[in-house]
Structure 1
Amino acid sequence: MKKQYSAAALLMLGTLATAQAQDASRIANKVLGKDGQPELVQFSAEGKAALRGLSGDQVLRQQLGLGQADQLVQRAAEADQLGMVHQKFNQLYQGIPVEHASYTVHSKGGTVESISGDFEKITNLNTTPSLSEKTALGRAMASVGARLYKWQTNEADAASYKPTGQLVIVRDNRTENGPQVLAWKFNVYAAQPVSRAYIYVDAHTGDVVLTDNIIKHATPATATFATAYSGTRSLADETATGGYHLREYTRGLGIETYNCKKGSSYTAAVDFIDADNSWTEYNNANFDNVAGDAHFGAQTTYDYWKAVFGRNSYDNAGAKIKSYVHFDDTPGDGVGYENAYWDGTEMTYGDGASTFKPLTALDVCGHEIGHAVCEKTANLTYSNESGAMNEGFSDIWGASVEAFGVSKYSLTGKSTYLIGEEIMKAGGALRSMSSPNTYQQPAYYKGTYWYTGTADNGGVHTNSGVLNYWYYLISNGKTGTNEKSQSFSVAGLGLDAAAKITFRAESVYLTASSNYANARTYTIKAAQDLYGVGSTQEQSVTNAWYAVGIGAAYSGGTTGCGTPTSLTAGSITTTGATLSWAAISGATSYNVQYRVSGATTWTTTTSTTTSKALTGLTTATTYQYQVQSVCSSGSSAYSAIGSFSTSGGTTTPTYCASKGSSVTYEWIDLVQLGSINRTSGADGGYYDGTALNTSVAAGSSQTMTLSAGFSGSAYDENWGIYVDWNQNGTFETAERMDYGVVTASAGNLTSTWTVPTTAKNGKTRMRIVMTYGAATAACGSYTEGETEDYSITVTGGTLTGSGVATLSGNSLGNAVARNLEVYPNPGTSIINLVMPSTSPIASVLVTDVRGARVAGAVLNENALNISALAKGMYTLTVSDGQKVFHQRFVKE
């Protein structure tokens, strides 16, 4: 029977079709997960314009279709070196945390570019527990079956390890894609045998539905130190009473290495001490020389993350790296401990027994601290595919740290793509990244040696071979045939590019529940971010996943062809300009869009050549423009934005906004360069000082003086100095004159840099950004700190094209500060407070990360008992009755 529609129904269908077409036009690319929920959404130019002005949570509520019971709560906002800001949200259902579910909003210049993550669609879940917390803890302990738990030992802080339950929603991990259940979550730390894991107990049935290991295993002055695996090395240490200790504080909050004396207690561990700082006698029958390997490994790992990614320790906040060697979980049994692990707080190394030598080789150190990096970024659940990726990333960082150490120190006897080759008593290695099958690991997704059982948390040390081999392929390159008889060809990118792509995926896009399919999506996106759509890097990443059995080979991608580069503007008149760009192979035409700088809408035109003449422009006006290539298979993304100014008068570029939302604790209080000399208090997060101007000559060396002001104690601050030398209204990376983190200092800082000889003559803008706790970017809002803008007039410059000269500088000096000292930090039970003066403490206030007052901390003279506090970060506000000082601390 033929269907009949009323006029109203036809109108409704037409409206729905229009809305769907409009929605499709606003989305450039959408990738759905197995559950049908989007794991990546990239917006078109129209979509970005439609989302302008919406907050991150509004964008997610709109795009993910959240119900009344769903919440996404922002937990962090991070800026990266590409100028992008990533707002990270955790999911809640009826106010209860949904474990491993998080979503990120990626924006640039205030415009949302994409969203990514894992959103769990939950309906009609009973959130009232049937089991008590006490009963659930008994089920959790029964599943561990340890002889002795950490809170049952005689250690001073033993009571702090007693687990407390938290109600959460988590996926039942006993079957693939199991249901979401209400569960009690416990952090259970066992002492004999050693284990530490988050254990989730179904709050209705009492079943253990997931065990997420916190301990990640590798597998079942200046000192001269003769190490066991890396030759004689120069190690930073400290002078102390009785000799020299393996402690140093030039890297972050420090690197410390201790001796467990073949015991299992960290509190009973002691310093390694040497009288003359020449530690040659440590090469003894007890293998005390492995202390040098642990210390060297931690230092080299810190240096790798700092040099390659600008990351300050594993948490990018300078976290102390503590290592314990000669650890034995069952002292006195005559059998050494055959493992090494990161337990969420410190590194622990056993001496080995029948299989291993002491487990302190450089790649093992890099591997274990790699787990700490993962915990602070993607925090991949240590089970099944996400756990295999957790292990794979650690192998990747172990290999990369080892290669970095070999290059920097000319080390010998190491093989980049073998893991643990130096600790095996019988020779060989633990794993091979270049040939996983050699050590019974899969080189192909769900292929030969793929593990499908429940042991080893679902085969995390086995199935990591797929990620390892993928990394080897993009680093080294290879042409061949995989085990499914499919031919592949992967271009080698080198370790530097491979590492940058991998870490961007791990730190920006991946979430706790990500699997291998997600890893493919997000590493391709990371390659596009860093090197462009259609780039060799994107093709290599895609083809390597094809080689290991995940996804198709590269065939032009979703965008069809490469994104135009090398944009220039010439033949500029009062009302016109000619735009040019590099040719893209396979392009049949190009779309060009342009607008007045700062406008919200673009004018679009086309060209069949690699140039376009624009006419009818406004005199003395700055314009922005982008170019998109069009191929038979689709269109590329638009290029980076270029800019030019029509002639006929003086133009004032429109600069991006930059402002701190809080100046409670810190602000800029001094800027001095030439005739600019301004001291100030807090200016509400931003100060417009462009009326203040100084002249500089092209090619001249300039020294400027800066200072941070603090309401109490001084904090570490990120500084960035930018000058718009080409006067195009944007601060390019090449225009960042100086940047870096300065250790807590209220004193004057100096920055020395050279004015580019190719700078444009005339008046331009200088921007100083000082932020706490995040990398310094020229644009955007941030939580704590301040931005100040000033003017510089350049003489003798000769601008060529749109570039500027290579810059020198990055010599931000430091000074000694007078702070409230807090130690130990992190602390577990007692922390000590040392005032900058001899005045007694009059009052102490503890607040949490939300700024809410927290009860339970008890002051006794200068010692603060924090044992009653929950684990996390807090802020101390301490007064001597006249001055107020602030300091952050972490309760472990």
Structure 2
Amino acid sequence: MSDKGTPALVAFRADAPAYTLNDARKAFAEQLQLGANDQMLRSKTEIDQLGFAHERHQQYYKGIKVEHAAYTLHAKDGAVQSMSGSFERIEKLNVTPAVSASAALQAALQFVGAKKYMWQDAAEEAGLKDQDNNPAATYKPQGELVIVENQRAAGTAQAGQPTLAWKFNIYAQQPVSRAYIYVDAHTGQVVMQDNIIKHVAATGTFGTKYSGTQTGATETATGGYRLRELTRGLGIETYNCRKSNSYTAAVDFIDADNSWTEYNNAAFDNAALDAHWGAQGTYDYFKNVHGRNSYNNAGAKIRSYVHFDDTPGGAGYENAFWDGSRMTYGDGASRFDPLTSLDVAAHEIGHAVCSSTANLTYSYESGALNEGFSDIWGACVEYYKAPDKQTWLIGEDIDKVRPSLRSMSNPNAEGQPDTYQGTYWYAGSGDYGGVHTNSGVLNHWFYRLAVGGSGTNDKGTSFSVTGIGIDAAAKIAYRTESVYLTASSNYAAARTYSIQSAKDLYGAGSAQEIAVTNAWNAVGVGAAYGGGTPPPTGVTYCTSKANSVAYEFIDYVALGTLTRTSGADAGYYNGTALAAPTLTAGTAQTISYSAGFVGTAYAEYFKVYIDYNQNGLFTDAGELVVSAAASTSSATRSSGFTVPLSAKNGKTRLRVVMSDNSGTGSCNAYSYGETEDYSVTISGGAAVAGVHGISGSTASTQFDVYPNPATDRLTVLLPNNASVVSVQVLDVRGATSTAARYEGNGQLNVSGLAKGLYTLTVSDGQTIYRQRFVKE
């Protein structure tokens, strides 16, 4: 379960898959409980080396893209094996902007506060047009209306809430920065910043300066040879910024005889050789080990710019970064030598891989994962190309002050945590929520997974991990990042997805799955492996537990064949393994319960929930089956409820919550009382759960609409060839459009609609059907 209360991963039995890829909308409707305003649109499909098809879908709400919210179906031979991702549950959000894009841009520019921007440099604008072979290309930001989580309203009711915002890609030249800036389209306030340039306070690439005598591909040029080559993807190119911050003024490094020994000079020109060799080595690693063709898996050209400097007077730029399209390296000053070492180069290109896969948002835990994966690739590429180096240190070649920038084997040595929320864990907002500090947890997880070890972590947990080697660890990490993680993933999600990746690659119950689980336990994320073959990953329920049972607790629960008398159970009791009573859909049921007291009898509220649609939530309509008023009595109380006909057949969860606070719900850590969970079996109900529409009628998405996208007309085909009684078309604002005409015989004329996204609602007089379509 994600921290948003929605499933992060749902796995299905391989011998009885629930869906095929053609059932995508059905899978999302049933497993995510999509509302009338939600849509999941397919964005891309990739086939991996195991033969899995990964079909990624982007979330939209009322036709507006929901940033960092995507879900992927993972299928083998057409059958969906699992589904994973991040889904944002949005209700009653006004998607009509009150702030114009131009006004929002001014707010974003004021927030960035740069002296000069890339689009203000005519040479850079011309260079971009030439680079993209597009006369319309420009660095000037174009506003895009999206929905994004508010991350800049800490301490207010708006914090973490879905917000309609204008999104801008702002590239500043002086001082250099590049980030997506999100401006609230109702208030004009900046609500989020997602950095494209990932600074590491160090960076590096190719060269004899750090890696001895190496061979690298070049090409002939006027005057000899230059650091370019076309044998890898669309090419790898390395340029000389000549201690300026201009990319368009950068020139080639030229050598007369293709023997670059004279580059070991006072200007550190040999750092360019590190950059070029490092880029080639990183490309080779991802291609040969993971089957990935450059960072975007489509052969993208890798450009590196060395001797970059935007400091006053050319004092020395102590950083390196990936800006979304190229690598940039400074020469360093007091802290660093030129930042072009092999592990730094691989780290920065690793950010490019991330931007083309998980696209982890560069803040807080997702940002720490972003940084951590880049360090993992720095270590892996260094081990692949230069195994004699210190694999588990990052930046050891370039740091003039410390042994390294970061240590994966001992993060504490460089001020990083090796345990989740342990020593050195950063809880503030600086450095985008501590992305360079808290990445130490992922780094150490990878080290433990590869090397193994035992001990006690900062949480007092004893651990023991049997290492599986860096090669197997890297395959699991790569699959986790490239297949499962999404933009908003946190450490809990990384654990879930890496365990699933180990199962995919090596099988459930394998030594690799056990090692992955125990390595997470070592760094304080989740329990150790329990042994045996774990049950299939499916619905995960939120935690509900009282902090104290010193005064009151649940002492009796009875429903059908279930009867349990008990004392205090430490605030929570898991009775799901007990025999489950059978509840028949449409029948009336009675549940009995009582409170036990230690001394004084307090006023207690009881709430009973049943997850009728088996989606892991108790917040859906009708699932709060009992809400009993406060009572100080210890006598047995009884409440009645009726099992709905729409309840899904099979075993599901019953939750009983007793609290002295009426506000305690289904998912809480609360003060006094107790929670008890049980299983019940539904029979005679629906084979699948319906999606409830805004009218209260049961709405279904299972009908055919084609072609989609459409230009002039749509064909509507209801199940069992039922007759269409009514048709309604809504635009992205939810307003009824009269420009579409239903002409009978399943034919809907949409020629009069403007281009865009619409919702089609159709009824056969008994069932309401709803689906989105695009008018081109």
Deviation at residue 259 of structure 1 after TM alignment: 0.3
Deviation at residue 427 of structure 1 after TM alignment: 4.0
Q: Name the residue aligned to 1:358.
A: 338
Unaligned runs of 5+ in 2: 127-136, 538-754, 756-776
Give the Cα–Cα distance (whole angstroms) in 1 for the partners of residues 500 and 145 of structure 2: 35
Q: Name the residue aligned to 1:346.
A: 326
Q: Name the residue aligned to 1:292.
A: 273
Q: Name the residue aligned to 2:189.
A: 207
Q: Name which of 164, 171, 175 aligns with 2:142.
A: 164
Q: Name the residue aligned to 2:541.
A: none
CA deviations on 1:721-767 (whole Å, 9 max, x unpaired) are xxxxxxxxxxxxxxxxxxxxxxxxxxxxxxxxxxxxxxxxxxxxxxx
Deviation at residue 340 of structure 1 after TM alignment: 0.3
Distance change in 2, residues 1:560/1:151 (3 Å): closer
Q: Name the residue aligned to 2:82.
A: 114
Q: Name the residue aligned to 1:193.
A: 175
Q: Name which of 240, 243, 246 aligns with 1:262.
A: 243
Give the Cα–Cα distance (whole angstroms) in 1 for the partners of residues 425 and 533 of structure 2: 30
Q: Name the residue aligned to 2:516.
A: 541
Distance change in 2, residues 1:91/1:296 (3 Å): same
Q: Name the residue aligned to 1:34.
A: 3
SS state of the match for residue 457, structure 1?
helix
SS state of the match for residue 161, structure 1?
coil
Give the Cα–Cα distance (whole angstroms) in 1 for the partners of residues 337 and 143 of structure 2: 39
Deviation at residue 560 of structure 1 after TM alignment: 5.7
- 2:188 maps to amino acid: G
Give the Cα–Cα distance (whole angstroms) in 1 for the partners of residues 33 and 533 of structure 2: 25
Moved over 4 A (4+): none
CA deviations on 1:407-465 (whole Å, 9 max, x unpaired) are 4xxxx5x2101000010112411000011111111111111111111111111000000
SS state of the match for residue 454, structure 2?
strand
**Equivalent runs, 1:621-770 vs 2, <5 Å:** none
Give the Cα–Cα distance (whole angstroms) in 1 for the partners of residues 207 and 370 of structure 2: 33
Q: Percent identity?
A: 64
Distance change in 2, residues 1:81/1:257 (3 Å): same
TM-score in terms of structure 2 length: 0.66
Deviation at residue 129 of structure 1 after TM alignment: 0.8
Give the Cα–Cα distance (whole angstroms) in 2 for the partners of residues 352 and 35 of structure 1: 42
Contact 2:243 2:314 in 1 (8 A): no
- 1:360 maps to amino acid: T
CA deviations on 1:89-144 (whole Å, 9 max, x unpaired) are 00000000000000001111111111111111101000011111111111111111
Deviation at residue 46 of structure 1 after TM alignment: 7.4
More deviation in 104-113 or 148-157? 148-157
Q: Name which of 447, 471, 474 aligns with 1:472.
A: 447
CA deviations on 1:275-327 (whole Å, 9 max, x unpaired) are 11111111100000111000000011011111111111111111111000000
SS state of the match for residue 210, structure 2?
coil
Give the Cα–Cα distance (whole angstroms) in 2 for the partners of residues 444 and 525 of structure 1: 22
- 2:172 maps to amino acid: A
**Equivalent runs, 1:286-325 vs 2, <5 Å:** 286-325=267-306
Q: Name which of 369, 375, 394 aligns with 1:395.
A: 375
Contact 2:6 2:87 in 1 (8 A): yes
1:449 aligns with 2:449: no
Deviation at residue 53 of structure 1 after TM alignment: 7.4
Deviation at residue 157 of structure 1 after TM alignment: 1.2
SS state of the match for residue 364, structure 1?
helix
Distance change in 2, residues 1:45/1:327 (3 Å): closer
Give the Cα–Cα distance (whole angstroms) in 2 for the partners of residues 45 and 74 of structure 1: 23
Distance change in 2, residues 1:362/1:488 (3 Å): same
SS state of the match for residue 490, structure 1?
strand
TM-score in terms of structure 1 length: 0.57
Count of matched residue pairs: 521
Give the Cα–Cα distance (whole angstroms) in 1 for the partners of residues 20 and 272 of structure 2: 55
CA deviations on 1:563-607 (whole Å, 9 max, x unpaired) are xxxxxxxxxxxxxxxxxxxxxxxxxxxxxxxxxxxxxxxxxxxxx
CA deviations on 1:786-809 (whole Å, 9 max, x unpaired) are xxxxxxxxxxxxxxxxxxxxxxxx
Deviation at residue 154 of structure 1 after TM alignment: 3.8
Q: Name which of 61, 64, 70 aligns with 1:93.
A: 61
1:125 aligns with 2:103: no
1:216 aligns with 2:203: no
Give the Cα–Cα distance (whole angstroms) in 1 for the partners of residues 117 and 488 of structure 2: 28
Give the Cα–Cα distance (whole angstroms) in 2 for the partners of residues 328 and 549 of structure 1: 41
**Equivalent runs, 1:404-415 vs 2, <5 Å:** 404-407=384-387, 412=388, 414-415=389-390
Contact 1:226 1:283 in 2 (8 A): no
Q: Name which of 476, 480, 484 aligns with 2:459.
A: 484
SS state of the match for residue 236, structure 1?
coil
1:550 aligns with 2:528: no
Q: Name the residue aligned to 1:511.
A: 486
Q: Name the residue aligned to 1:248.
A: 229
Q: Name which of 46, 56, 71 aligns with 2:39.
A: 71
Q: Alignment RMSD, CA only?
A: 1.8
CA deviations on 1:391-413 (whole Å, 9 max, x unpaired) are 00000000100010114xxxx5x
Contact 2:21 2:75 in 1 (8 A): no
**Equivalent runs, 1:424-443 vs 2, <5 Å:** 424-443=399-418
Distance change in 2, residues 1:45/1:272 (3 Å): closer
Contact 1:219 1:461 in 2 (8 A): no
Contact 1:226 1:279 in 2 (8 A): no
Distance change in 2, residues 1:86/1:214 (3 Å): same
Q: Name which of 9, 26, 39 aligns with 1:58.
A: 26
Q: Name the residue aligned to 1:383.
A: 363
- 1:171 maps to amino acid: E
Distance change in 2, residues 1:47/1:125 (3 Å): farther
Deviation at residue 536 of structure 1 after TM alignment: 0.8
